[in-house]
Structure 1
Amino acid sequence: MRRTHAIPCGNGEALIEPPFDEWEGLVRRTAAAAAVWDVEVGGMPLSALRSDARADALRLAGETCRRLGIAFEVRDSSAPIVMTGHQPELFHPGVWSKHFAIQKFADQHEATPLDLVVDSDRCGRVSLRVPCVRERVRRHDVVLADGGDACYGCVPAPSPEAIERFANEALACAKTLPGDGPYERVQRFVGCLNDAVPRSRTIAEAVVVARRSYETPAVSRYGEVFVTDQAAASSFLRFAAHLVRDAQRFTTVFNDEVRAYRARRRVRSAAHPFPELSVAGGIAEVPLWVLVGGVRRRVAFEQATGSIHVEDHGVIEAGVDDVSVVRALEASGLRILPRAVALTMFERLCVADLFVHGVGGSRYEFITDRVIERWLGVAAPPYAVVSLTMRLPVGSASAIDERIAELRRTLHVAKHNPDKLLDMALADPGERARADAYVQEKRDLIARASEPGADKRAVGQAIRAVNARLEAAIRPFVAAVEEKIQRLECERGAHEALSDRECSFPLFDPLDVMDAVG
């Protein structure tokens, strides 16, 4: 079992696992294994389906990049494919770093780099995470679009009015940050977004085109493949048909592995890491979506009747073999989309020679590996993990933490041994003289407590009374220490907001991220 990967802690620290110089060996291993995969999927050997899927991916990347005006260096069709992917968000540099990693590998090994745009996921809010320093420092999410339950690929590109609102709010926040860099970079990204919208049909395309334009200084040339386009290709429909036709066995394998994962890690949540696929009355849920009115609906298959059941839509008569199911899916006119596990399996098995995950995406790949091995009887292709922590340059929080800890120790001493703080707490000679008298009285009481026959209870009460007088004498000092702690905690909160790892990529220089991954 692979170990769990941890997010890098240090600013500018990258995670590349396995090390970059091992990737070429992984690529070769996958290509050699895939060449002899003879298990039938979608009515043909998996190796043949893989050839078709790779051709579809390269064709779609070329068509999409030409239409959107994105630089893409098309290599020979036999070149290795190294791939990564994410939702079309204004994500943080940790996600962004994967794109530069696949470009670096492609440049060094004449491979084809592809970015999978997961525009099949629920859109929700697309927003820029940016700190804002006004009355106080806070994290702020500037919303570019809110697609609700619709998938990214069904949400139209933002209007000029929406971009203007986004720009005004984002720039107002960026202007409050230290230095000119964040403001100038956000301003440049807004310009890229304005240029992107006229050639973009959806929010997904607008974000991708703007990001690629923003990356221009780094000379990125990887292709873009949108899941909603890929899912309409014949190679994916064949894979989807096999999932549907073999739904009962796939569901059994998948649910077994999810339950085993939970048992090993003592997970109680029924939703973690994935909900189990439902099986009832001979109808088995399939890890696919069907778009109905732009909203994703669940799919299930009834083996006995060869019927595909679509949530809130109805039933499609499909048959019980892969070819019949493919024809039924094509004839239905419905848009079929993969859910998370089906998408990862398809890309790793049928397209990529090496798929590059982030830390989050890699967490559950042990389940995917086991499902591939048990369901299809082939060894799961290896994958890599890349991430990065990059923060705005606002200094270190460690000095603040150390100072707070020191002041808390001072409060502890003030409560239990206030006499040890008189040099710091009392500058007035009269107040110091009275406090010194209390200290002497305390010493005398301590000495008396050790005498034979001493009433220790009474002496203890007297010592506590002296401590109370000493504590009262240094109360203004204690109040000042508490005020300092409160002020430092506010400063630490401000620092955490300013140095939030989740800040969006338009706050950062693409060249810095590219350099961080090698």
Structure 2
Amino acid sequence: MADLKVTTSLRRNDDVSKSRFKPYRAPRQHGESLIEPSLANAESMLRDNQQALGSLPSSLQQLRRPARETLLRDSLKYTRAYRDVDTTDLSSDSIVMAGHQPTLFHPGVWFKNFALDRVAKLSAATAVNLVVDSDVAHSSAIRVPQLNRSTGQVQSTSVAFDQHSGGVPYEQSLIEHRELFDSFDARVRDSVQLIVADPLVDQLWHHAREAIRRCGFAGCALAQARHALEHDLGLSTLEVPQSVVCRTESFANFAMQVLCDLPRFHACYNDSADLYRQIHGIRSNAHPVPNLARDGDWFEAPFWLYGNRSAKRQAVWVRYCDGGSAIEIGDRQNRTRKIANANSESAYEALHALQSPEFKLRSRALVTTMYARLVLSDLFLHGIGGGKYDQLGDLISQRYWDCPTPQMMVLSATVMLPGHESFAPQLIQQRQVEVDRQLRDLDFHGESFRDQADSPEPELEQWITRKRQLLDDIPPHGQRLQWHREITAINRQLGESLHELRQQLTQERSRLSRREKDAALFCSREHSFCFYPLPYLQATYEGMLR
């Protein structure tokens, strides 16, 4: 067990600079994707990673094979509960993984699942998607765009699949209102019918109703429904919840390696987070993650703890006792346990034995992907958020495990609703700039609109002629007061003579503002995938994957 007075050799090395962190920006236009590196490099990346993973510490090397065999066994068992699985080509020799929370996410996130299947087939690997069900569930409703029948304007409404608003981990989020859940597809379809006639929510919710009868939990039902639909579309991936992974002996072994050396992990974690903030000029201590805290002889660990009777996540704390031979682990409230002989090779078995419905130990995000990338897989596919986040995870891994981290692939896509072309946001913005310039010119260059003026032509020509004379004979600095007053008066007279044109442009500017709001809502990339037409999404994905 680590000495509590441990010092760290971590320094802000000259070779760690902002240039090593990739920005990863979401594609903006419909049909554009981010795939970095490209799919053509997937197989070579996987092989390079397998070679790099050969330099892991022996404690992780010895863990990889049993952990991966357990992953495949658990993934098969879990997936077979709701869909058929072809086991012909499944092998633990090469595994590619991705992961996300079990939500009705936008098409750019779902694209990652299609890419996972493609990468696995390109590299002759087994694909496993990790359902991150330890994250806190948020709203049980989605925003659905609508067209107003009378005005043609775009608005949005909230459509709920349950009555509660989350606040507990997805694995604890029971559906409370079954009638609301069962009717969700019909209500989404009614809401979006003037935009999309055949939303895929119909096919999705057929599977969701079956899933909710099996498990009763929102996250479980949404993930299984989506995965069953993916099977209908020919995707050959496995899935497993994070909660299942965290209950395995292999995960307990990995966690115990961190917990028994927590002071040093603390130093690596916090120093890396501080360095990340310093390099990026981030002032908030909560971003991208808060530092792990210390309270006396208690160390905060990068895990969560909760149970069925008290489902709210609590931070895990650890302290060393009995002269350093044992550890206490828990939330320092109602769930604190003692592990004796923590230095022994079998100590992880004691940690594994603690897992129960009231003692659910789950990894936090950075440790979740650390375990997935170092132990479970050969290549991990991240979205943009995860890709940015896990660059900090790489710093921590490199410093704590003293080895290079495997490469990751980062993917996202932008898919807009059918009919988005009619809104043409860029053209709207260009016209807004033109109208704003014209309105300004009415105030300062009214002579440019002489053919559209309301005033009699002789009077108009008199103003324009006098303005030209003034501009041809500009007084020196310090002698321009009277000159400026006369120019201003003429500009005002010219502007007042263009009242009708000003009114037309002002009305157009107002229409453009409304149209801009309509376009921003209609063309958002954040809409849930569930109310897009399925063939439309498939064709868009296929184009991007090619």
TM-score of the alignment, normalized to the shorter chain, above 0.5: yes
Cα deviation, residue 96, structure 1: 0.8
Q: Is the 8 A contact 1:307 1:317 kept in 2?
A: yes
Q: 2:353 aligns with which of 314, 330, 333?
A: 330
The 1:133/1:158 distance shift into structure 2, 3 A limit, reads farther
Deviations 1:337-373 (A, max 9, x none): 1111110111001111100001110102222112112
CA distance in 2, matches of 1:64, 1:368: 28
CA distance in 2, matches of 1:28, 1:194: 41
CA distance in 1, matches of 2:215, 2:355: 27
Deviations 1:107-158 (A, max 9, x none): 2332101110001111121433432222642344423244522111111246
Aligned residue for 2:527?
Answer: 503
Deviations 1:33-62 (A, max 9, x none): 43464432xxxxx12211111111101111
Deviations 1:466-506 (A, max 9, x none): 22222111123112211101111110110110010001112
CA distance in 2, matches of 1:86, 1:323: 32
Q: How does 1:332-347 map to 2 (within 5 A)?
A: 333=356, 334-347=359-372
The answer on 1:16 being equivalent to 2:48 is: no
CA distance in 2, matches of 1:417, 1:152: 62
CA distance in 2, matches of 1:315, 1:256: 28
Deviations 1:169-214 (A, max 9, x none): 422321132x53xx44333333343343223332122111221343
- The more displaced of 286-295 and 221-230 is 286-295
The answer on 1:348 being equivalent to 2:373 is: yes
The 1:72/1:464 distance shift into structure 2, 3 A limit, reads same
Aligned residue for 2:101?
Answer: 87
The answer on 1:391 being equivalent to 2:435 is: no
**Paired residue type of 1:89:** T
CA distance in 2, matches of 1:175, 1:128: 16
Q: Please, what TM-score do these two structures have when normalized by structure 1? A: 0.91
**Paired residue type of 2:221:** A
CA distance in 1, matches of 2:205, 2:461: 67
CA distance in 1, matches of 2:233, 2:452: 56
Q: Is the 8 A contact 1:92 1:505 kept in 2?
A: yes
The answer on 1:239 being equivalent to 2:254 is: yes
CA distance in 1, matches of 2:466, 2:391: 69
Aligned residue for 1:467?
Answer: 491
- The more displaced of 130-139 and 234-243 is 130-139
Q: How does 1:228-267 map to 2 (within 5 A)?
A: 228-267=243-282
The answer on 1:512 being equivalent to 2:525 is: no
Deviations 1:65-96 (A, max 9, x none): 11122545463434310110000011111111
Q: Please, what TM-score do these two structures have when normalized by structure 2? A: 0.86
Cα deviation, residue 162, structure 1: 1.5
The answer on 1:310 being equivalent to 2:331 is: yes
Aligned residue for 1:363?
Answer: 388
CA distance in 1, matches of 2:470, 2:51: 86
The 1:157/1:55 distance shift into structure 2, 3 A limit, reads farther
The 1:441/1:302 distance shift into structure 2, 3 A limit, reads same
Cα deviation, residue 459, structure 1: 4.2
The 1:214/1:464 distance shift into structure 2, 3 A limit, reads same
Deviations 1:346-405 (A, max 9, x none): 100111110000111010222211211221222211111111111113112111111111
Q: 1:152 aligns with which of 148, 164, 170?
A: 170
Deviations 1:254-289 (A, max 9, x none): 000000111111110011010000012121111011
Aligned residue for 1:100?
Answer: 114
**Paired residue type of 1:297:** Q
Q: 1:372 aligns with which of 387, 397, 401?
A: 397
- The more displaced of 164-173 and 203-212 is 164-173
Q: Is the 8 A contact 1:74 1:112 kept in 2?
A: no
Secondary structure class of the residue paired with 2:316: strand
- The more displaced of 325-334 and 251-260 is 325-334
Q: Is the 8 A contact 1:257 1:371 kept in 2?
A: yes
**Paired residue type of 1:247:** L
CA distance in 2, matches of 1:192, 1:313: 39
Aligned residue for 2:17?
Answer: none
Q: Which runs of 5+ in 2 are unaligned?
A: 1-19
Q: Is the 8 A contact 1:291 1:297 kept in 2?
A: yes
Q: Is the 8 A contact 1:73 1:222 kept in 2?
A: no
**Paired residue type of 1:484:** E
**Paired residue type of 1:11:** H
**Paired residue type of 2:306:** L
Cα deviation, residue 159, structure 1: 4.5
The 1:232/1:423 distance shift into structure 2, 3 A limit, reads same
Q: How does 1:284-299 map to 2 (within 5 A)?
A: 284-292=299-307, 293-299=310-316
Q: How does 1:173-212 map to 2 (within 5 A)?
A: 173-177=191-195, 180=197, 183-212=198-227
Aligned residue for 2:155?
Answer: 138
- The more displaced of 75-84 and 48-57 is 75-84
- The more displaced of 19-28 and 184-193 is 184-193
RMSD, aligned α-carbons: 2.4
Secondary structure class of the residue paired with 2:81: helix
Cα deviation, residue 232, structure 1: 0.6
Q: Is the 8 A contact 2:55 2:403 kept in 1?
A: no
CA distance in 1, matches of 2:107, 2:85: 21
Secondary structure class of the residue paired with 1:23: helix
Q: Is the 8 A contact 2:160 2:180 kept in 1?
A: no
CA distance in 2, matches of 1:335, 1:301: 15
The 1:72/1:270 distance shift into structure 2, 3 A limit, reads farther
**Paired residue type of 1:282:** D
The answer on 1:301 being equivalent to 2:334 is: no
CA distance in 1, matches of 2:304, 2:140: 22
Deviations 1:233-260 (A, max 9, x none): 1111111122221111111110000001
Cα deviation, residue 215, structure 1: 3.1
Q: Is the 8 A contact 1:97 1:513 kept in 2?
A: no
Cα deviation, residue 457, structure 1: 3.7
Residue-pair matches, total? 505
**Paired residue type of 1:359:** I
Cα deviation, residue 463, structure 1: 3.1
CA distance in 2, matches of 1:77, 1:214: 24
The 1:330/1:271 distance shift into structure 2, 3 A limit, reads same
Q: 2:62 aligns with which of 44, 48, 65?
A: 48
Q: Is the 8 A contact 1:391 1:500 kept in 2?
A: yes
CA distance in 2, matches of 1:513, 1:208: 22
Q: 1:411 aligns with which of 439, 442, 446?
A: 439
Aligned residue for 2:7?
Answer: none
Aligned residue for 1:439?
Answer: 464
Aligned residue for 2:430?
Answer: 402
The answer on 1:423 being equivalent to 2:451 is: yes
Q: Is the 8 A contact 2:68 2:92 kept in 1?
A: no
Q: Which runs of 5+ in 1 are unaligned?
A: 41-45
**Paired residue type of 2:440:** H
The 1:476/1:244 distance shift into structure 2, 3 A limit, reads same
The 1:245/1:425 distance shift into structure 2, 3 A limit, reads farther
The answer on 1:7 being equivalent to 2:7 is: no
Aligned residue for 1:43?
Answer: none
